[in-house]
Structure 1
């Protein structure tokens, strides 16, 4: 997976340009996480991840990742986000684009002063070092923001829930945490990206995959070229993709070659 794809999952280009000041961590690990690592070292089912949201790199991985995924924290830290995303089940990775798009939508609709109080729970399948897939519940907060509310740090607790979850459905649940407790504010069932598109949009994507231009698609479907262009624009919006090639990967996976 390319760096551009990783960036598109985590943060759109216009958001990545946010001023980060001196608060973006430059080292491989940040000392603020050492105590958390001691707590999590003996955990059999959970591990912590810290991601620099601007640089798109891990800044912390707890040693307990060895107990859950079979990789040492040193290896995972060095392998980086490219490797981490490659370990996610291909079908779930496609849905992760949809999940992240919803996370960002709620995040930016929330007043700046409340964004640190949001918690996002999502699940996906990830491949262990032994090749076996397990179900992970990822609970994410954004504890470090710029003055204008842009995320600097993505901090997640990842828990193996395979013992309790027997199906492969994906959900996103969003909570608001305050002094009164934790309140659920949103819940989504994450569909396959292909089902996010309308029947007409899926049809257009199939024709694009066959190598047709917008003019050719318009002629075949007996619609205007402008209508085709509008559909293509909405396809990018619905899938969260930056271009048609990425939308093809998100929608169809490996069923079609890039166009």
Structure 2
């Protein structure tokens, strides 16, 4: 089957060097874990869950399961054909290497930089708390006709081994080309424990505690996205009108956006709401 040429033919030397360094660092990070026993072998996921697989294949988002120990896709929903034009078997047989081939060359080093930041954060958490985090990032991916779309990849930990190491991740990819117009790549980590959110860009050296959206701020973002005014939000949350406006200004500052419309778009484009 024909598909877009690998970006290595056009990727700039500096970008390629940065990409290869980060990619190899991630490969080493995944490989060096002291993996123990796992409860479930997802190699037979499709055979054992035909009804669920049928739902995923017909869904609006591309769904996948990856074994990070081997960097191998164990499942890729067949609707990837409609979304990008590639057969699912290209992902399950070629693994992450195929995703590298069809990722926009300018986004490759930035994407792997974001992935490295996500995993550095996850592995710094106690094993018992890792599963509470959902993590998202966006990048551009080539369709089979050579055109690019921007996808939002939203992932959660599917399984940890007996030592608490992350072994399997389940994710969904959706086309957000119509939602995000700027070229800035971002990533976010959302805690299901306290509903806080940490977000960062490839240029961020580390995670600043002041860049964490609180549970209250996320509530306000969601209500604004639903069309609530500051007055209605204050009434609904039983807080002061001025407090709501202070939260709004903090959200704009933390998301580096310019107004309400931009931070709602930011939240949608980063899977926060």
**TM class, shorter-length:** 0.5 to 0.7
Contact 2:90 / 2:98 at 8 angstroms: preserved in 1?
A: no
Match of 2:73 among 58, 64, 70: 58
Q: Aligned ranges for residues 100-119 of structure 1 at < 5 Å?
A: 100-119=115-134
- Equivalence for 1:184: 196
Measured in 2, the distance between the counterparts of 1:9 and 1:36 equals 35
Cα offset, 1:143, TM superposition: 1.7
Q: Deviations over 1:72-127 (max 9, x none)?
A: 21233223221111111111111122112211121022221111111001000001
- Secondary structure (helix, strand or coil) at the match of 1:37 reads helix
Q: Tell me the residue number matched to 1:128.
A: 143
Question: Deviation of residue 17 (structure 1)?
Answer: 3.9
Distance 2:86 2:28 in 1: 30
Deviation at 1:14, TM superposition (A): 7.3
Asked if 2 retains the 8 angstrom alpha-carbon contact of 1:37 and 1:62, the reply is yes
Question: CA offset at residue 157 of structure 1?
Answer: 0.7
Assess if the C-alpha contact under 8 Å between 2:22 and 2:116 holds in 1: no
Q: Distance in 1 between matches of 2:49 and 2:25?
A: 25
Contact 2:37 2:162 in 1 (8 A): no
Q: Does 1:12 align with 2:28?
A: yes
Residue 150 (1) aligns with residue 147 (2)? no
Aligned residues: 187
The alpha-carbon deviation at position 9 of structure 1 amounts to: 5.8
- Distance in 1 separating the partners of 2:137 and 2:59: 20
Match of 1:170 in 2: 185
SS of structure 1 residue aligned to 2:97: helix
Show structure 1 runs of 5+ residues with no match: 197-259
Q: 2:38·2:162 contact (CA, 8 Å) conserved in 1?
A: no
Partner of 1:139: 154
